[in-house]
Each structure stands twice: as structure tokens, then as C-alpha cells.
């Protein structure tokens, strides 16, 4: 269905989550060629490669594994965030596979849709749909990147799962009254919808005493390889997470 008010709420809540997540409704024909962007209906391989090269230039000391990991993470963070905000805050879902994204120097920030069409339904139904849409979009990213680099599905799937479960942690922080059983069930639904292994549930733990959901990633973002940076608190390499 079509409804401007859904997107007004989506864009408003996106900005509340982070000012880097700003959205618009912009017809594809009006996307400015002066500002690089990524869209499934346009060739994006070179634009993604330019993002990779900008990361290489900004952090030459970090090495190729970091540049590749960071490039993939940047491509995927906005679609995953928008999926969660849409479903849990706006009770709907835009067509994520048609999301356009704006490339900034060494970053991706800003997204747009070319129409105000979106899906309505129960959360369980929308999660399944979100998984399909995200897989379609991420398969496209991988195909575009495979033109100039080797990027394995196993590598991207771990980052995909960590992005999904990381957003679930954010949801638990925004809504601390959500019960542990509900959060764990939502995690299972998301992993199944995205065709990700259920064994990755082992990275989540709900503490009944603190009533908090804890998470240790299965992948390392390698940011510690950048000068002046350290291991993230949820990194599997962190000493506190090796017990």
C-alpha cells in the first residue's frame, strides 16, 4: 500500500536512532549523478570499489581484510536498521531491495526510496519479508563486488548475522521491558527469515538477574588494526569474551 505518513514516522524515528540515518522519498530519475549512490537498478560496482579505495586511503595501515570487512558492513548497516525501525516502531516495511544509499567519503549515510509503497502485516510476517528483501539486496552487493574482489558468502553471512543480532540488542536497550523469551524468539525468527544458521543463537545470552540481553559477535570488524583503535567490547577477540 501507499502512505506518506508511514515514511514520515520512519524518517523521524531513523533520525532519533542516529543522525547518520536520514531518509527521503526521491524518484530514481532525480538521483543526482554528482553524488555517488547505490541502487539495485543501477550498476554499482565502481561506486562500491571507490568506497573500498577511500577506506584504503584513509587507513593504509589496517590492511585488505579490514577494508573489505568495513566496506561490506557499511553497505548493509542502513538496510538492517531500517528493517528493524520499520517493523518494531512503524508496524510496516518498505521494499528494502529498492533502497538507494548515498556514499560519503569512507562512509555510507543517507537512504531513499523512489515511492511511498510499503507492506503491512503482523511482525512475524514482516520479518519473513524483511529477510527475503535483505537477501535480495545483499546478493546484489556481493555480485557487484565480485567483479573486482573475492567475497565469500560465508564471510558476509557472519557479518549479516552480527548486524541482525546487534540491532536486536539495540531494540532491547530502547525497550528494556521486553521479556527475554520474546527477544530470543525474535532472534530465531530473524535468523530463519534471513537463511542464517540457527547455531549463531549461541552468541546471544539473556541474564535473568540483570534482565539484559548480552551479545558476542561471531565476526571481528578488525577496527583494532586502525591506528589508535582498540577491540570492540562485543568482539570475539576481546579477552573478556574468551571465557
Element (H, E) at 66: helix 64-89
Q: Please state, in angstroms and rounded to a whole number, the distance separating the CA atoms of residues 114 and 232.
A: 36
Mean pLDDT of 167-178: 93
* Nearest CA among 224, 117, 213, 139 for reference residue 174: 213
pTM: 0.95
Asked if pLDDT for residue 243 goes beyond 70, the answer is no
Cell numbers of 177, please? 521491558
Mean pLDDT of 58-76: 97
Q: Please give the DSSP secondary-structure letter assigned to residue 202.
A: G
Q: What is the pLDDT of residue 33?
A: 64
Q: What is the pLDDT of residue 149?
A: 97
- Which runs of consecutive H residues, i.e. helices, occur in 90-204? 123-145, 153-174, 180-193
Asked if pLDDT for residue 242 goes beyond 80, the answer is no
Predicted confidence (pLDDT) per residue in 23-47, tens digit: 999 988 777 666 789 999 999 999 9
Asked if pLDDT for residue 2 goes beyond 70, the answer is no
Mean pLDDT of 188-192: 98
Q: Please state, in angstroms and rounded to a whole number, the distance separating the CA atoms of residues 39 and 25.
A: 14
Q: What is the pLDDT of residue 94?
A: 97
Number of domains into which the chain is organized: 1
Number of Cβ atoms within 10 Å of the Cβ of 93: 23
Q: What is the pLDDT of residue 32?
A: 66
Average the pLDDT over each of 5-19, 51-65, 129-143, 209-223 and give the range with the smallest value: 209-223
Specify the pairing of strand 23-25 against strand 107-113: parallel
Q: Please state, in angstroms and rounded to a whole number, the distance separating the CA atoms of residues 110 and 137.
A: 16
Asked if pLDDT for residue 1 goes beyond 70, the answer is no
Domain that holds residue 233: 4-241
Q: What is the pLDDT of residue 56?
A: 97
Band of residue 231 on the pLDDT scale cut at 50, 70, 90 = very high
Q: What is the pLDDT of residue 146?
A: 98
What is the 3-state composition of the chain as percent helix, strand, coil, each rounded to the nearest 5? 55, 15, 35
Predicted confidence (pLDDT) per residue in 84-143, tens digit: 999 999 999 999 999 999 998 899 999 999 999 999 999 999 999 999 999 999 999 999
Q: Please state, in angstroms and rounded to a whole number, the distance separating the CA atoms of residues 50 and 64.
A: 14
Element (H, E) at 112: strand 107-113
Give the three-state DSSP class for 47. Answer: helix
Q: Are 38 and 44 in contact (CB under 8 A)?
A: yes
**Rounded CA Rg of the chain:** 18
Specify the pairing of strand 37-38 against strand 107-113: unpaired
Amino acid at each position: 500500500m501507499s502512505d506518506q505518513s508511514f515514511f514520515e514516522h520512519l524518517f523521524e524515528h531513523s533520525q532519533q536512532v542516529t543522525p547518520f540515518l536520514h531518509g527521503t522519498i526521491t524518484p530514481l530519475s532525480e538521483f543526482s549523478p554528482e553524488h555517488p549512490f547505490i541502487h539495485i537498478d543501477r550498476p554499482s560496482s565502481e561506486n562500491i570499489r571507490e568506497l573500498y579505495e577511500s577506506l584504503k586511503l584513509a587507513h593504509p595501515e589496517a590492511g585488505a581484510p579490514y577494508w573489505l570487512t568495513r566496506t561490506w558492513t557499511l553497505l548493509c548497516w542502513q538496510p538492517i536498521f531500517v528493517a528493524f525501525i520499520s517493523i518494531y516502531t512503524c508496524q510496516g516495511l518498505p521494499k528494502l531491495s529498492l533502497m538507494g544509499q548515498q556514499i560519503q567519503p569512507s562512509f555510507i549515510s543517507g537512504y531513499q526510496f523512489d515511492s511511498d509503497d510499503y507492506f503491512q502485516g503482523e511482525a512475524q510476517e514482516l520479518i519473513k519479508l524483511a529477510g527475503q528483501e535483505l537477501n535480495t539486496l545483499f546478493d546484489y552487493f556481493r555480485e557487484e563486488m565480485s567483479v573486482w574482489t573475492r567475497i565469500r558468502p560465508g564471510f558476509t553471512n557472519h557479518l549479516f548475522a552480527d548486524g541482525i543480532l546487534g540491532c536486536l540488542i539495540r531494540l532491547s536497550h530502547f525497550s528494556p521491558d521486553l521479556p527475554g523469551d520474546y527477544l530470543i524468539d525474535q532472534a530465531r525468527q530473524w535468523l530463519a527469515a534471513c537463511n542464517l544458521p540457527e547455531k549463531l543463537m549461541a552468541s546471544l545470552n539473556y541474564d535473568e538477574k540483570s534482565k539484559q540481553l548480552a551479545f558476542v559477535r561471531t565476526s571481528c570488524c578488525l577496527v583494532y588494526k586502525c591506528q589508535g583503535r582498540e577491540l570492540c567490547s562485543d568482539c570475539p577477540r576481546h579477552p573478556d569474551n574468551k571465557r
